[in-house]
């Protein structure tokens, strides 16, 4: 088992020497196995490990006991542990979500917030080969394309999945062999959710009557499609950089360039543009993609097409425009103090995250940074940061203008930012009140990276999940 995990770490570059890793531990066999294996690898990779447990508050005292169990396991291993309880049932009811979807959103939010607080570089989760097979089948039933059938990635951003090539049976056998203590969530054995039905009914049937290696074969299919999808995503981004541009509230494509693309690339570019505004975790289903393609092949301007997440598609004489123009009142009155690391939730569904990154990493990536990312010279910034909407009299030195001052109002007019979207734009200042970043548009010249920069602040805008 340990050798398999080490091979996965090597193959997918899951860990680097000195990584600080947040380990999501539910108490089940998969997460407990992950925890013990990473503990065994701690010295070899010089890891700093931190256990994280999220109590969904679905099962009362039983869930509290699981949280205490995880605390005790972490203590026995000499590891720090953070436990958070949150009322997922209330969140689910408030936002009309399924219990599984609501739990996933809040659980991941907890992991990411904790990683930012601890300045952790990785979040390790215990998904395994059977989870992957279930995910592929779920997406197949929903009519997903290549991206959905690729399933979960071994590494996506900070999230790593070292057990993705190991089956549930192998994990359970390992726990028994090593005498590892575990807890099992009884809801996993109730066929009231689609995923549970696949796990408890469909996969056993497929193994028995069709192919005993169905889990391994589905994982192989996912791996093939994942690699091919990554290649196509790279091509799509290259096309976007050639014919498109984006801000915090809109994506604009050249109509002529879009029309020359193969229909497959058109579909990918539609999804790509949608995700720019809706968030990376959001997807646009096939019916909407087809509707957008039909609209773009027939419309000559004037009419609009509504898409999910409050996004509108429209065409001009020479452009295709995706807009998310949630109108924020002229004086929303918010003023949020933001530390490093930290997260701020803003009007209009925006989230601003801030953290410190290594200068070498910043110099390698800042030239490819998108409009919603900013790399700033932290040595010139007086903390804490403040996030607020624009206000009359705002002046800054837009990067690229040689240090010349410009009124923010004029800057936005020059860029033809729609009036309805201007109050959505977050303005980030430091403790002196100086604007350091007009979120989604431009940093101030005074805070750009220089050769002598020793500390770097990384700011990123996204939409809530």
CB atoms within 10 A of CB 456: 21
pLDDT (0 to 100) of residue 333? 64
In this prediction the pTM is: 0.67
Decide: helix, strand or coil at residue 49: strand
Residue 230 lies in a domain: no
- Which residue shows structure tokens 């070899």? 44
Domain boundary among 273, 299, 323: 323
Q: Which domain holds residue 278?
A: 247-323
One domain for residues 49 and 124 = yes
One domain for residues 392 and 368 = yes
One domain for residues 386 and 424 = yes
One domain for residues 357 and 259 = no
One domain for residues 91 and 182 = yes
One domain for residues 144 and 215 = yes
pLDDT, tens digit only, all 465 positions of the chain: 999 999 999 999 999 999 999 999 999 999 999 999 999 999 999 999 999 999 998 888 888 999 999 999 999 999 999 999 998 888 888 777 788 888 888 899 899 999 988 999 999 999 999 999 999 999 898 777 888 899 999 998 889 999 999 999 999 999 999 999 999 877 776 666 788 889 889 999 999 999 999 999 999 999 999 999 999 999 999 999 899 887 767 889 999 999 999 999 999 999 999 988 877 767 788 888 999 999 998 865 557 888 887 788 988 888 999 987 554 444 456 888 888 888 887 776 678 889 988 888 888 888 777 778 899 999 999 989 999 989 889 999 999 888 889 999 999 888 777 666 677 789 999 999 999 999 888 999 999 999 999 999 999 887 544
One domain for residues 387 and 444 = yes
CATH value at residue 356: 3.50.40.10
Residue 161 lies in a domain: yes
CB-based contact 394:409 (threshold 8 Å)? yes
One domain for residues 51 and 157 = yes
Residue 348 lies in a domain: yes
Residue 234 lies in a domain: no
Residue 329 lies in a domain: no
One domain for residues 216 and 257 = no
One domain for residues 349 and 319 = no
Measured between alpha carbons, how far is 444 from 80 in angstroms, rounded to an integer? 39
Q: Please provide the DSSP assignment of 352-374 as one string.
A: EEEEEE-HHHHHHHGGG--TTEE
CATH value at residue 94: 3.40.50.620
Measured between alpha carbons, how far is 450 from 366 in angstroms, rounded to an integer? 12
Of the candidates 245, 252, 289, the residue with the CA atom closest to the CA atom of residue 267: 289
One domain for residues 184 and 209 = yes
pLDDT (0 to 100) of residue 374? 92
Residue 240 lies in a domain: no
Burial class (CB in 10 A: 0-12, 13-18, 19+), 434: middle
CATH value at residue 266: 3.30.465.60
In 276-364, beta strands by DSSP E: 304-307, 311-315, 319-323, 336-338, 342-345, 350-357
Residue 241 lies in a domain: no
pLDDT (0 to 100) of residue 463? 59
Residue 32 lies in a domain: yes
Domain boundary among 174, 205, 221: 221
Angle at 238 between CA 234 and CA 239, to 5 degrees: 115
* Number of domains composing the chain: 3
For the segment 342-388, what is each residue's pLDDT rounded down to a tens digit? 888 777 667 888 998 888 888 888 877 777 889 999 999 998 999 99
For the segment 196-251, what is each residue's pLDDT rounded down to a tens digit? 889 889 999 999 999 999 999 999 999 999 999 999 999 999 999 899 887 767 88
CB-based contact 346:352 (threshold 8 Å)? yes
Measured between alpha carbons, how far is 360 from 425 in angstroms, rounded to an integer? 29
Domain boundary among 169, 204, 221: 221
pLDDT (0 to 100) of residue 328? 43
Measured between alpha carbons, how far is 163 from 166 in angstroms, rounded to an integer? 5
One domain for residues 16 and 121 = yes
């Amino acid at each position: 088992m340990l050798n398999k995990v080490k091979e996965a770490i090597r193959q997918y570059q899951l860990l680097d020497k000195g990584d600080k890793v947040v380990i999501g531990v539910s108490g089940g066999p998969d997460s407990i196995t992950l925890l013990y294996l990473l503990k065994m690898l701690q010295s070899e990779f010089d890891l700093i490990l931190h256990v994280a447990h999220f109590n969904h508050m679905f099962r009362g005292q039983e869930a509290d006991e699981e949280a205490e169990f995880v605390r005790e396991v972490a203590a026995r291993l000499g590891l720090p542990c953070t436990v958070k309880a949150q009322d997922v049932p209330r969140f689910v009811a408030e936002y009309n979500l399924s219990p599984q979807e609501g739990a996933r959103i809040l659980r991941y939010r907890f992991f990411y917030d904790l990683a930012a607080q601890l300045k952790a570089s990785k979040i390790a989760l215990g998904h395994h080969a059977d989870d992957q097979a279930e995910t592929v089948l779920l997406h197949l039933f929903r009519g997903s394309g290549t991206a959905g059938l690729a399933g979960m990635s071994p590494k996506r951003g900070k999230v790593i999945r070292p057990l993705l090539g190991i089956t549930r049976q192998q994990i359970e056998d390992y726990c028994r062999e090593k005498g590892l203590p575990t807890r099992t969530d009884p809801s996993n054995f109730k066929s009231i959710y689609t995923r549970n039905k696949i796990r408890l009914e469909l996969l056993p049937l497929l193994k028995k009557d069709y192919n005993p290696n169905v889990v391994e074969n589905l994982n192989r299919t996912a791996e093939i499609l994942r690699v091919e999808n990554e290649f196509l995503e790279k091509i799509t981004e290259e096309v976007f950089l050639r014919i498109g541009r984006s801000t915090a509230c809109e994506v604009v494509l050249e109509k002529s360039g879009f029309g020359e693309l193969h229909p497959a690339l058109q579909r990918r570019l539609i999804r790509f543009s949608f995700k720019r505004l809706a968030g990376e975790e959001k997807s646009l289903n096939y019916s909407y993609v087809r509707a957008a393609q039909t609209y773009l092949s027939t419309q000559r301007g004037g009419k609009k097409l509504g898409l999910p997440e409050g996004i509108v598609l429209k065409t001009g004489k020479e452009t295709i425009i995706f807009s998310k123009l949630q109108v924020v009142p002229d004086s929303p009155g918010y003023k949020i103090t933001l530390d490093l690391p930290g997260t701020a939730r803003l009007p209009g569904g925006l989230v601003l995250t801030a953290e410190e990154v290594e200068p070498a990493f910043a110099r390698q990536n800042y030239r490819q940074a998108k409009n919603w990312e900013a790399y700033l010279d932290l040595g010139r910034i007086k903390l804490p940061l403040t996030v607020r909407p624009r206000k009359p009299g705002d002046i800054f030195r837009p990067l690229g203008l040689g240090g010349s001052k410009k009124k923010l109002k004029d800057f936005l007019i020059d860029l033809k930012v729609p009036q309805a979207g201007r109050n959505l734009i977050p303005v980030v200042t430091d403790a002196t009140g100086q604007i350091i970043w007009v979120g989604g548009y431009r940093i101030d010249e005074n805070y750009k990276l220089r050769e002598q920069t020793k500390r770097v602040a990384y700011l990123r805008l996204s939409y809530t999940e």
